Structure 1
């Protein structure tokens, strides 16, 4: 993905990583459109950040995605980058099925079915562009599980394998598939998480991501240094130790 000269749609970008990345990409010379469910947030973003386009979209709703895609493509026929940013993360207790099933279904709908529907809505258009990119967003937890968030971990692992698979299918077309793999970042993904000193500051994360896109335009995976501890535990042979560290456990069970 080239760092500038693109027209980029980022659904799920009214806050957190999505908004910060959208603004950073705009600053690099791209036309950026952000999407989200809450009209008041979209109006505030448009007022505070001149030049940013906005469109209402609920990525849990197939009809909303279809409507938003038609609007974005009508207004921006040169669109060549889709960033499937929307996501939710919830704590679940799988020892009590009555407490986790609704959360699990909602998480999979947002984190997996949403990106699938978004890609379906735009991939035909993107293949007609001379140079296009689909950027998926997985997580370090796709590779090392956090005990408290099983459905989030699973949905992000599925996004990783989806990215790997559609990259194979789109080989030979104009569409690149790039997977962004965040570590824990200080956002409101979980309550109070924006103050978590163990997580990476948002501005540092986005600065490093933009630098990686700029220096490695052909990268298949965007990995800041902090995520590699999670991403490569199995390859390094210390997976059990990484899982224990992430979950605050003794790797020897003591």
Structure 2
């Protein structure tokens, strides 16, 4: 996508990757509208970035999405980029009974949320000569972490959805790009400075370079080998990856 001259609506724009990319795109001269559930955080981020605009939104609620979509279109008719970034990543253990309430919340937030937000805005985007839908998936869409099984599954499903939507929009002015982050040192899990986690500024810098291309998937070089999941050999790759995490667990802050 082009990196300047856009009007961009970002879900989950008050922390982590969402805030980092919102601020970077804002500095490039785009009109950036961030959304989130908590008014205090929206006010904090927009105060730190004069000209950035807030919209309150709960991506788990369809009526909230529809209200926010109407509000954004009315207030910012030049809207041409929708960036679906809201999500969360709890640990789980699917070797036993699954917490059904948590599973439903994960699927509603990480999968249905982006689908519903895009659905509410897609016809507006089609009216623009250049428009982009962005999804934040994860390297875990390709190689899941067993201790975050449901999260990984939602990202795999979002990757699949983006593939289909991209194909179905092929004859329109709307492009679909998927940002697939590695482990980035944010509070999505626990910001710990772990050397295995990519520093957020480095991720933002590399992502902007890739985002400016026509690549359907925006990935940093460090995860290319995992993206190139070796087909029928994926089981060995998955086992080795997850065994390394058993031996050296991700810090949780607990």
Q: Flag whether TM exceeds 0.5 (same fold).
A: yes
1:114 to partner: Cα distance: 0.2
Residues 1:157 and 2:156 are matched in the alignment = yes
Residues 1:168 and 2:167 are matched in the alignment = yes
Residues 1:243 and 2:241 are matched in the alignment = no
**Greater than 6 Å deviation, 4+ residue runs:** none
Residues 1:198 and 2:193 are matched in the alignment = no
Residues 1:208 and 2:203 are matched in the alignment = no
Aligned to 2:224: 228
Residues 1:62 and 2:57 are matched in the alignment = no
1:238 to partner: Cα distance: 5.2
> 1:110 and 1:195 mapped to 2: Cα distance?
27
Q: Structure 2 length as normaliser, TM-score?
A: 0.92
Contact 1:94 1:100 in 2 (8 A): no
> 1:59 and 1:85 mapped to 2: Cα distance?
10
- 5+ unaligned residues in a row in structure 2: which ranges? 246-254
Residues 1:128 and 2:127 are matched in the alignment = yes
1:19 to partner: Cα distance: 0.3
1:194 to partner: Cα distance: 4.2
Residues 1:3 and 2:3 are matched in the alignment = yes
Map 1:13-162 → 2, pairs under 5 A: 13-97=13-97, 99-162=98-161
Secondary structure at the counterpart of residue 8 of structure 1: strand
Aligned to 2:249: none
Secondary structure at the counterpart of residue 148 of structure 1: helix
Contact 1:46 1:54 in 2 (8 A): yes
> 1:213 and 1:120 mapped to 2: Cα distance?
22
1:167 to partner: Cα distance: 0.7
> 1:194 and 1:82 mapped to 2: Cα distance?
30
Paired residues, number: 245
Alpha-carbon spacing, 1:245–1:196, altered in 2? closer, same or farther (3 Å)? farther
1:193 to partner: Cα distance: 3.9
- 5+ unaligned residues in a row in structure 1: which ranges? none
1:95 to partner: Cα distance: 2.7
> 2:62 and 2:28 mapped to 1: Cα distance?
32
> 2:73 and 2:192 mapped to 1: Cα distance?
34
> 2:100 and 2:191 mapped to 1: Cα distance?
23
1:241 to partner: Cα distance: 4.3
1:242 to partner: Cα distance: 2.9
> 1:108 and 1:213 mapped to 2: Cα distance?
26
Could you report, residue by residue, the CA deviation over 1:144-169 in whole angstroms, capped at 9, with x for unpaired residues? 01010111111000111100001111
